A = this chain, B = another copy of it.
Amino acid sequence: MKPELQDIRSQFPILNREVNGKKLIYFDNGATTQKPIGVIDAESQYYKELNSNVHRGVHFLSTQSTIAFENARKSVQQFINARSENEIIFTKGTTESINLVAQSFTSLLQKGDNIIVSRMEHHSNIVPWQLACKGRGLELRVAEITSDGLLDLQQLASIIDDRTKLIGIAHISNVLGTINPIKEIVAMAHSNNIPVLVDGAQSVAHLKIDVEDLDCDFFAFSAHKMYGSMGVGVLYGKEKWLEKMPPYQGGGEMIKNVSFDGTTFNELPFKFEAGTPNVAGTIALSEAIRFMQAIGIENIGKCEHELTNYALAKLTDMGNINLFGPIQNRSSVISFLLQNIHPYDAGTLLDKMGIALRTGTHCAEPLMKFFGINGTMRISFAAYNSIEEIDYFLESLHKVKQIFE
């Protein structure tokens, strides 16, 4: 193993543990990544030294907590290259970020308007729109995909009309690893004055995100999928939209003045942050960003790319296997099926061999239906995974095949 990789791995306490008597091999990074000790410690240090509620207190701990919290906002802003801190809304996760837009943005629309999402979306970028469409009399249209798991841009162009008010699209598919051509989609959408929401849950830990370059209108992601804590998410939104949108949740923080005669709302970003935020988790997110930047997000991407190519080649060689998703220009999520072996059976046995991977529908049932399957096995890599782990995994997969033969 390369010394740099050893350095990275040594920061993750959980990677030393055994499960079922075997060394843990964690290939379920698409679901959630593991946390480096810096992130874990940032959170516990916060509780040991600084814990306090933010924004409203005059006392030392509150002031220091507020500074740290707002500095975290600044880190996120810089990390994704947003124009202003006002464009960074803290939520509890990608799902909430999308729900926020789905509820608040659609309140500006008229009955009969339509929203487009793609066939390959995670349920979190489908169901919020279904709920909003039902509530407001909007139509939900589906951008279709090709059999190799790419977005069908022609079909997309064909379903856009002058009642189309938003396009929601995953940056990277959590099943196929497809990297969608966001800039192209944004250009197409903007030429029709349609804003684009990008579900960045699967991209933020793997690609350099530059929202100014992507020019998307909204970008949603979760800290827990990028080495950060659970319970923290981000919604990036262009100020021009966020200014127009009504508040989502009501409560403390998001108001300017409250009275029973009429309440006025706070400025951005606070207008969308009701209630006590997850200060500790947000500070830990800025530590996760620091972790990624120390390695270099491009380096992470490069290593993952090597792992992915290696695994794809070896899996193909193995035979009797169906691979889903594109072969090139893809992310480090690999979905596959062993012929005649149920993913649940294989996953259960691989777990006994210490390998954590995901089996099932991956919260993407419409995509499963498209391929006519009930689920896949999925491995997904992060900065700390190694070729050696893939080799062990492949060996184990061979054993599983033998067991079921």
- A residues engaging B (CB < 8 A)? 13-14, 17, 19-20, 24, 26, 28, 31-32, 34-35, 39-41, 43-44, 47-53, 56-62, 92-96, 98-99, 102, 107, 122-124, 126-131, 135, 140, 142, 222, 224, 229-232, 246-247, 249-252, 254-255, 257-260, 263, 274-281, 344, 347-348, 350-351, 355-360, 363, 365-366, 369
Contacts and interface: CB of A to CB of B under 8 A. Distances in A.
A365 B251 CA distance: 12
Given A93-B276, A130-B263, A28 B52 contact: yes
Given A20-B60, A35-B51, A251-B123, A95 B230 contact: no
Contact of A58 (B59, B250, B348): B348
A280 B228 CA distance: 12
Contacts of A358: 56-57, 59
A95 B276 contact: yes
A247 B93 contact: no
Contacts of A365: 257-259
21 contacts: A13-B48, A14-B49, A14-B50, A19-B59, A26-B61, A31-B53, A31-B276, A58-B360, A61-B356, A95-B250, A124-B252, A124-B275, A126-B260, A126-B263, A127-B255, A127-B263, A128-B274, A140-B260, A224-B276, A278-B281, A281-B281
B231 A278 contact: yes
Given A58-B351, A252-B124, A260 B52 contact: no
Nearest to A24: B61
Given A127-B251, A356-B52, A365-B257, A99 B274 contact: yes
B52 A47 contact: no
Nearest to A65: B32
Contact of A92 (B222, B275, B369): B275
A127 to B, nearest CB: 3
A350 B58 CA distance: 10
9 A-B pairs closest in CB distance: A95-B275, A231-B278, A127-B250, A95-B251, A124-B251, A231-B231, A31-B53, A59-B356, A13-B48
Copies of this chain present: 2
Name, among A47, A344, A357, the residue most crowded by chain B CB atoms within 10 Å (CB to CB): A47
A356 B44 contact: no
A231 to B, nearest CB: 3
A23 B118 CA distance: 57
Nearest to A231: B278
Contacts of A278: 92, 229-231, 278, 281
Contacts of A356: 52, 57, 59-62
Name, among A59, A129, A222, A277, the residue most crowded by chain B CB atoms within 10 Å (CB to CB): A59
Given A19-B61, A231-B232, A260 B93 contact: no
Contacts of A13: 47-49
Nearest to A35: B47
A34 B51 contact: yes
Given A62-B356, A95-B251, 10 more contacts: A19-B60, A28-B57, A34-B47, A34-B51, A57-B356, A58-B348, A92-B231, A92-B275, A95-B249, A127-B258
Nearest to A356: B59
A228 to B, nearest CB: 10
